[in-house]
Amino acid sequence: MPSELAVGIHDLSFRTTSFVLHHSELARHNGTDVAKYHKGLGQRSMSVPAADEDIVTMAAAAALPLVRRHGPDRIRTVVLATESSVDQSKAAGIYVHSLLGLPPHIRVVEVKQACYGATAALQFAAGLVHQDPTQHVLVIASDVSRYDLDSPGEATQGAAAAAMLVSADPALLELSGPSGLYTADVMDFWRPNYRATALVDGKKSVTAYLDAVENTWRDYRQRGGLPLEEFRSVCYHQPYTRLAFKAHRALLEACGARADEETLHHALAPTTGYNEVVGNSYTASLYLALTAALENCRDLEGRTVGLFSYGSGSVAEFIAAQVRPGYRSHLRADEHQEAVNTRQAVDCETYRALHRHALPTDGRSYELPHQTRGPFRLAALRDHQRIYEAA
């Protein structure tokens, strides 16, 4: 049941990169049947960062519309969740704080636990708002998903940032009831400090993900959570969109419910529209699914949706949330469609060159080419420092 003080997501915005690689082009280059990507993975394209784009530039671009609509004065905390961090010490959110011109009397922290980090940040934010209902908390999930060229994971790459304003009396979504939690020590996906790309055990990762679905649901129900029939839809973290369908089928079967294709399509198809063209955005992925659900479902007002968050390694959480009355008037569908549709398509030669592009690690000065179409860019490296600027 909703708490006496309604706390949740008041506003939601996402942004992605300036470039896109279509899977038809990747298939042509690889000599692969494109159905392997379109049907097997459920992916049609993937966002590719320009040389001067990273998690900071995407995060600031995603958060900018929220700051413009609501102003900065009530923001007391910025939490940036990522597994693509640009510094081992300094929180990437401090760069975002500077680019957005936020007031100085704000705490800024970075949260990491693979793709789950943004949900941890959301729960942290909700706790702060419960403590002080007058404040807003800006939660940002921003990641670039990178695997080795010609590896099995290559087709699931992507990049995006999702920004959420968490408040009391939220306009979009109220977090309600208990959470279901699950942690297991499993090496299904990881990236050591000495690597720029992740290591993945694909079969183990799928098994760990599906185990986490069932275990978080079991914990959620044992703690008094709603039965499955009360949920209009469930938004899943989507490393690739077909995995969400596998997950929901497993959940339906565990609950003794119908798991036919029509049922799955009705529940999940509205959630996959952005992820199938952006690719895996790690911490942002679940919240792109939520954005798609809010924009595409016509019967959500007052309904309950589930959020399943998974981060390899692994930590997972199942959350129930109630969609607020009048939520549709606060959505940003046109902005999000523009962000996706205005990306410049690149061929595989250009994509591979961007993939191989690496910043110097010896501290020398380095000016980046101006490629981004976004409002912010990584302009240079000087004296071991990253220099960001408005584009």
pLDDT in tens, 124-170: 999 999 999 999 999 999 999 999 999 999 999 999 999 999 999 99
Annotated active-site residue 237? The verdict is yes
1 has pLDDT over 70: no
Geometric angle at alpha carbon 339, from 167 and 345, rounded to 5°: 150
What pTM value is reported for the model? Answer: 0.97
3 has pLDDT over 70: no
CB 63 within 8 A of CB 138: yes
239 has pLDDT over 90: yes
Q: Is 147 annotated as a binding residue?
A: yes
CA torsion angle 370 373 377 381 (round to 10): -20
Q: What is the DSSP letter of 101?
A: T
- Spatial distance between the Cα atoms of 31 and 14, rounded to a whole number of angstroms: 33
Q: Which pLDDT does position 280 carry in this prediction?
A: 98
C-alpha of 196 from chain center: 19
- The catalytic residue among 10, 22, 115, 276 is 115
CB 180 within 8 A of CB 221: yes
Q: Is 280 annotated as a binding residue?
A: yes
- The catalytic residue among 237, 248, 336, 355 is 237
299 has pLDDT over 90: no
Instruction: Give the tokens for residue 138.
Output: 């800006």
* Structural domains in the chain, sorted by start: 7-390 (3.40.47.10)
Place of tokens 């943004």: 118
Q: What 3-state class would DSSP assign to 183?
A: strand
Annotated active-site residue 115? The verdict is yes
The neighbour count for residue 127, using CB atoms within 10 Å, is: 12
Q: How many H-runs (helices) and E-runs (strands) does the chain carry?
A: 12, 17
- Length of the chain as a residue count: 391
Q: What 3-state class would DSSP assign to 79?
A: strand
Mean pLDDT of 237-255: 96
Q: Which pLDDT does position 298 carry in this prediction?
A: 84
Q: Which pLDDT does position 367 carry in this prediction?
A: 97
2 has pLDDT over 90: no
CB 319 within 8 A of CB 116: no
- Spatial distance between the Cα atoms of 348 and 325, rounded to a whole number of angstroms: 45
- Spatial distance between the Cα atoms of 237 and 252, rounded to a whole number of angstroms: 17
- The catalytic residue among 25, 53, 83, 154 is 83
Annotated active-site residue 230? The verdict is no
